[in-house]
Amino acid sequence: MTATSEQPPRLDDTAGLIHVRRPSDGTHIADLLLHRPADIAETAIRLRAAQPEWERIGVESRIEWLQSYRQWIVDNTDRLIEIGADEGGRVRNEPMLETTLLVELIDYYSRAAPKLLRTRRIRPGSPLVLGKKLMLHRHPYQLVGVIGAWNFPMLLTIGDALPALFAGAAVMVKPSEVTPLAVRELLRGWEDICAPPVLEAAYGGAAVGGAVVDEADFVQFTGSVATGKRILERAAATITPVSLELGGKDPCLVLAGANLERAANCAVYGGFSNNGQVCMGFERVYVEDSVYDRFVDLVVSRVRALRCGIGDDSDVGALTFAPQLDIVDAQVRDAVARGARVLTGGHRVEGEGTWYAPTVLTDVDHSMAIMREETFGPVLPIMRVTGQEEAIRLANDTEFGLSATVFAEDKHQAEQIAARLEVGAVNIGDFLINMTCVDAPQGGWKRSGLGSRGGEYGLLKYTRTKVVANSRIPTGDREINWFPYTPARRRAFRGAVRLIHGRGLGRFGF
């Protein structure tokens, strides 16, 4: 049987269940209770009731809870990886990246949060407000809603919930209905350590996601551009702030003089890890003419050597979300119809489950969907360019802007190119480092997103600032600029402003 995207629906409203199936062979794994939008309002009430105490205990006590959670994650890593691999049709190395990053995030924010959340004094630079004392306080949003995608389900829900918890918020996570099981296990972990009830999950699809947006004071969303727009529209009704991590079409630039072996190994890893279902995965490769043929040969031999399967001796798993198979196949067919050449792969794989052969395309150009739309699958199109200028121009010729990778002759050239790429991150001679280094902000330009995760902003975005202004010196009955306005007081105020803002003799009215 040919791999098919046709499967019974996952969301069963009549039974109130989510049916979770294995992408690797289509068999049933588990049923989960489907929340109704009305349940989300009740969950929000519970979380809001628990949040003030979570905020009150302070960041050091919250760190203790999160460190206990860290220990639980470490102790249960193998099971989490197993569940993540099974429900995603992925090789275990991929969910292992998620559990690793969850621990990295807890460690980073345990170090950074006390300083970031500390009340700090703002020292006014202007003599006009010299006598004032301004203190900057940070207060968490009470309820943060985190809505995640299916490609890295643990990281894109709990990973985004962690900094919100450090900040003192309560969090409702809504994993993708495609892959809710590893997240359910992580929620069990929060209960196992008897942590305060400030973290709950909402299970369902678009309707439940919409209800989460309605209830939350801040929404962290990861998913497609189309859904991101809907989230933004819905959040506009209540002026709820959102942070959006959306789709990508990330380029890899390979120029003459680069280490071609490393560039080819990196291109294959960047294009096919997690079966190409990585928002920052390579979806376009631009290679300078003089090294093009050699580079293509290296890539093709490595892609042919990739082992498809979900066992520990496999490299590339199944496609997690069945409809993705049709998108990938349609883009490859469109490219071929417009003149692209398939050097390997280019077809669905016979058998049960959602499998697509790792594919390399050449003779591609920007008239093809494969070079313009997000593919999110195991396809690497490689395009020949005349040199650096054309590579930069084509890399920027997209509505997306998550990240890019550059292989150049030397560091100087690579950094010059990096400065001209319209993306949120550039990895020089590498892939995904910007994401695996959780100290750094990760966010998209253009339609790839709004805001960022990781680093300082990854935590501070879950807080609101409050400035408390006081006087450092004794105050009289009124300030010089208050009512009543009189000519004498206006002259005095004007004189003071002229003295401060004026230059040279102009300060004294000359």
Q: Would you name the residues annotated as active-site residues?
A: 245
Bridge-based pairing of strands 120-122 and 132-140 is antiparallel
Secondary structure of residue 406 in the 3-state scheme: strand
CA distance 481 to 15: 68
**Closest alpha carbon to 107 in 153, 159, 150:** 159
- The nearest distance, CB 203 to ligand NAD, in angstroms, is 10
Contact set for ligand NAD, span 174-213 (CB under 6 A): 174, 176-177, 205-206, 209-210, 213
- The nearest distance, CB 506 to ligand NAD, in angstroms, is 52
Of 343 and 402, nearer to ligand NAD (C-beta) is 402
- The nearest distance, CB 231 to ligand NAD, in angstroms, is 6
Of 142 and 151, nearer to ligand NAD (C-beta) is 151
Secondary structure of residue 138 in the 3-state scheme: strand
Phi/psi zone of residue 508: left (φ > 0), alpha (ψ -120 to 50 degrees), beta?
alpha
Contact set for ligand NAD, span 418-447 (CB under 6 A): 444
Q: Count the residues of the shown chain that bind ligand NAD, applying the rule CB under 6 A.
A: 31
Which residues face 465 on adjacent strands?
A: 138
**One residue of 26, 148, 271, 377 binding ligand NAD per CB under 6 A:** 148
**One residue of 67, 100, 224, 259 binding ligand NAD per CB under 6 A:** 224
Contact set for ligand NAD, span 442-481 (CB under 6 A): 444, 449
Contact set for ligand NAD, span 60-89 (CB under 6 A): none
Of 227 and 398, nearer to ligand NAD (C-beta) is 227
What phi and psi, each to the nearest 5 degrees, are found at residue 220?
A: -105, 120
The identity of residue 395, as a single letter, is: A
- The nearest distance, CB 226 to ligand NAD, in angstroms, is 7
- The nearest distance, CB 149 to ligand NAD, in angstroms, is 3
CA distance 111 to 123: 26
Contact residues for 252 (Cβ-Cβ < 8 A; gap 6+) = 263, 266, 267, 270, 271, 282, 284, 285, 286, 404, 405, 406, 407
Residue with the two structure tokens 């009340």: 119
Phi/psi zone of residue 454: left (φ > 0), alpha (ψ -120 to 50 degrees), beta?
left
Of 189 and 401, nearer to ligand NAD (C-beta) is 401
Of 189 and 223, nearer to ligand NAD (C-beta) is 223
**Residue 365, class by beta-carbon neighbours within 10 Å (0-12 exposed, 13-18 middle, 19+ buried)?**
middle
Of 117 and 173, nearer to ligand NAD (C-beta) is 173
CB-based closest residue to ligand NAD: 209
- The nearest distance, CB 342 to ligand NAD, in angstroms, is 24
- 223 near ligand NAD, judged by CB under 6 A: yes
**Closest alpha carbon to 462 in 153, 127, 109, 211:** 109
- The nearest distance, CB 57 to ligand NAD, in angstroms, is 31
Contact set for ligand NAD, span 239-278 (CB under 6 A): 245-248
- 236 near ligand NAD, judged by CB under 6 A: no
- 335 near ligand NAD, judged by CB under 6 A: no
Secondary structure (H, E, C), 366-382: CCCHHHHCCCCCCEEEE
Which residues face 305 on adjacent strands?
A: none
According to DSSP, residue 347 is labeled S
Secondary structure of residue 465 in the 3-state scheme: strand
Of 154 and 299, nearer to ligand NAD (C-beta) is 154
Contact residues for 38 (Cβ-Cβ < 8 A; gap 6+) = none
- The nearest distance, CB 316 to ligand NAD, in angstroms, is 18
According to DSSP, residue 413 is labeled H
- Using the contact rule CB under 6 A, the part of the chain among 11-19, 147-155, 383-391, 491-499 near ligand NAD is 147-155
**One residue of 147, 182, 183, 394 binding ligand NAD per CB under 6 A:** 147
Of 187 and 264, nearer to ligand NAD (C-beta) is 187
> Site map for ligand NAD, 351-380, x if CB under 6 A?
-----------------------x-x----
- The nearest distance, CB 341 to ligand NAD, in angstroms, is 26
Of 80 and 213, nearer to ligand NAD (C-beta) is 213
**One residue of 279, 285, 303, 361 binding ligand NAD per CB under 6 A:** 279
What is the distance of C-alpha 156 from the center of its chain? 7
Give one DSSP letter per residue of 203-238, joined into a string: --SHHHHHHHHHH-SEEEEES-HHHHHHHHHHHHTT
Residues that bind ligand NAD (CB under 6 A): 147-151, 156, 174, 176-177, 205-206, 209-210, 213, 222-224, 227, 230-231, 245-248, 279, 321, 374, 376, 402, 444, 449
